[in-house]
Structure 1
């Protein structure tokens, strides 16, 4: 049996821990953007800055590993179906939110160049991913590359991706740079999907040892992520070739284990994380504007002087407002912000799906309503 096919949940099931893991990832991403931007604007650091530094090695690797878990369900299908689900889907949301984000920053982008400069910006964004939307762009690229290379032996595919991460080529291209840095984690999710789900079952069966392993990992992760590699002010150990790959891989596995434990425990925290995870791409697409507005209000009014509290308020606003917006527009004409219309589907490939559908299919959840 091809190891990359693995053992994944049946089509009628949706695992709660997948949503919890995605919820953790998207909240870490939003917190990073909100904390660094607000801290810089206020000229200081707060209690969230160490958390951001701690999560830096594994935050995005875990997100890409989770994104690769379900690729095996569609990679063997024909190119039309595959392209609809893994390319056109992401291209629609990338293009739509590229226009929205760019329009919000029109003056900054166009400058004295006017509409011509703005159009050049849009054209460049077709070949070099723009701002936070790079994640959406790369999901489509990773999917296509993996389908093209799927006949390669798994060790060769994974080894090549690891070499690109450890020894990336020198290039001015942001796309190539991020591809080399992130592809190994996406392809690992695809190749080891079965083992990841088996790990989740093992954690569920033995929560005590899993908690102990997580504690040991947290100590090691803190040392790698927070210890300067060459004296005060230098990048952390996690930035070193090889160590960054190891930290990202171990951190992604640890996040999966933590998500399983949280999902099994239930409660309001788990439910909130599942909601964020199920709508993770909606949050990712829309968090930039409420974050910018909240940061401006916090900084300009001066009502909050504690940097940590200010960062927390900005991060909470950036995560919650997109969830509220998505719920308000659901079923209205503005639903196209988060739901791909039928007109943007390739013929004969099925019904429209939501922005979060490709990262984890929509079937009924396991272990709760």
Structure 2
């Protein structure tokens, strides 16, 4: 495939409009509604290697940051499927310089596998002077250091369906064949009305655009509140890809989206079904133990200077309520389907204990 299968323009895009969390550009266009750019490197890593990138253990590196909800999905799926030994993971810091996400969490400020200071370098190895936002999650080929894909929607599905040879024993089926059409429909709806809905409100450039986005977001959250009054998870008794896509938005809602993106009506924690569902998933291995609440706040409040010009990062809120009891076990439950819970995270990937209410020990 060509190196820019999905590229249609050489003009720099609004950073916030990129598919994942981006490190460049403006976030709010005065007078306009927020419009997310959904163009990516469409190249896929597949079992048959039809795009030139075959599934191969140890060849690829997943680049994420804990702050990003889109990257959080990839972290969760990699962990649930037990792909840690097959796909290494690099973690960028929660903020960035003028050019790109930086590996300031690593010694000497360089990713220890790719040897780069900024994710931008991997994009430029694929397309010199890549003109669009530098987004995460991204999967990089360690052979040439170039980005293979930043298609955050396809990425997690391929981890489930193309990487089966390297799934751990007992890995759950997050994308069961019989439910795929319904999961796809639900995921499209979640993207436009909830996952991206908070951004439509937060990056609205007019009062009218903001109020329209706010109303649609809360109408959608009310629909989810009702849906979760009938089953433990979105698709029934077992966790699926749909839950992986909703959780990162919900866990960021009260500490960030409610205030920073002006999405507040009531806390998610106060909603009987959504709040219980959030607590349930947060306490489930592979979900809450991937969440770095401090990095989340640092990213949104420090980076989005057009809506938080001081860059002040709030101290609160107290998120220990995520550990409170829930009543989700009142429903029929087969959390992992025919599979089992994942192992604890790798020691090097354990979230800083000061950044989470969970106590997690790595392996």
> TM-score normalized by structure 1?
0.27
Q: Which has the higher contact order (CA 8 A, sep 6+)?
A: 1
Between structures 1 and 2, the one with greater strand share? 2
| Greater gyration radius | 1
TM-score (structure 2 length as normaliser): 0.28
